[in-house]
Amino acid sequence: MLDINTETLAITDASSIVSTEVVQTLWSGYGEIKRYVLADGKYASVIVKHIQLPDQSKHPRGWNTPLSHQRKLNSYQVERKWYQQYASQTDAFCKVPKRYHAVEKDAELLLIMEDLDASGFSIRMSPEEMTLDHAKNCLRWLAHFHAKFIGVEPNGLWPIGTYWHLDTRPDELEKMGNKPLKAAAKGIDTRLNDATYQTLVHGDAKLANFCFAANGDVAAVDFQYVGRGCGMKDVAYFISSCFDEEDCEKYENELLSSYFNQLQKALDNNAVYQQVKEEWIELYRYAWADFYRFLDGWGPGHWKMHDYSKNITQRVIDELK
């Protein structure tokens, strides 16, 4: 069994651990994330993500199959690879935690990372608290992240990013009630995967995974589902995570314009930008329909399955016929 205290003290050169605080438990009982406050070391505090295999997976919706278990195991290895090989390529416009240490033993994995709270990113937003400017700041982060990794191969990451990717969700596909959407699922997936311009997508870019600074800067966490994909997957998923039906409709054009304006800046307005925009803006609806497909099998009646989502998805189904 990993000795977390020993590992943490060794990597930080701290003399002692002052206190610990549980930040959150991991999905389905796979471990927890803690903040370690330290004395006389290189860092005042660090975040420690400790992954342990549970005795029995406890998924809140009952998805505790061997396939879902293996998907989670893969996701933690992907996150470790992300921090080891890719995270250092980000910059201040797409801030992520610095990795200090990673160690694996038997059925345990330990990641020791920068404490974003201590680095100034201590604000968390609920959809009720979030303003349009906050949302645009997150879209700015996504635009710079996508620009940074356009054309990068996902070595060691998910070949196709996002936690709802069709090939990793056969059980949810089987349970779908929307038959026309089920029939169109492969076509939607193919259209997204065949896009000329691919990048690395965060893969779980919901509002809860963004940390805010007082000046509006943004950092992101949780890279278990990072992999190859069209950037619109992150954009559609993010918007779905923090806007209700009415506001999705009301702010769609403004939010997409904000994202693409930032993408233009991040790509330094080079020739490829206009080609990326022309392709991706047409795939926004497909990205939304792709996530809606997942929800139809995973959580029928979910609050995100509102009329805005239905209408976008139906347009995609009609287009594919």
Query: 65 lies in a domain?
Result: yes
Would you say residue 119 lies in a domain?
no
Rounded to an integer, what distance in angstroms lies between the CA atom of residue 139 and that of residue 253? 13
Give Cβ neighbours of residue 110 (< 8 Å, ≥ 6 apart).
2, 4, 7, 48, 49, 50, 51, 101, 102, 103, 104
124 is a domain residue: no
For 284-306, how does the pLDDT look when each residue is reduced to its tens digit (9 = 90+)?
999 999 999 999 999 999 999 99
pLDDT of amino acid 55: 52
Phi–psi pair at 22, nearest 5 degrees: -75, 120
What pLDDT does 69 receive?
78
Long-range contacts of 57-61 (CB under 8 A, 24+ apart): 57/28, 57/29, 57/30, 58/28, 58/29, 59/27, 59/28, 60/28, 61/298, 61/299
Model confidence, pTM: 0.94
pLDDT tens across 50-91, in order?
988 765 445 444 446 777 778 888 998 999 999 999 999 999
Summarised one tens digit per residue, pLDDT across range 93-147 is: 999 999 999 998 887 899 999 999 999 999 999 999 999 999 999 999 999 999 9
In 44-167, DSSP assigns E strands to 45-52, 99-105, 108-114
CATH number for the domain harbouring residue 291: 3.90.1200.10
Structure tokens at 203: 């893969």
pLDDT at 156 over 50: yes
Confidence band for 28, pLDDT divided at 50, 70 and 90:
low
H, E, C per residue of 177-192: CCHHHHHHHHHHHHHH
Looking at residue 263, what is its pLDDT? 97
Average pLDDT on 180-185 reads 98
Range of the domain at 18: 4-114
* Shared domain check, 225 and 185: yes
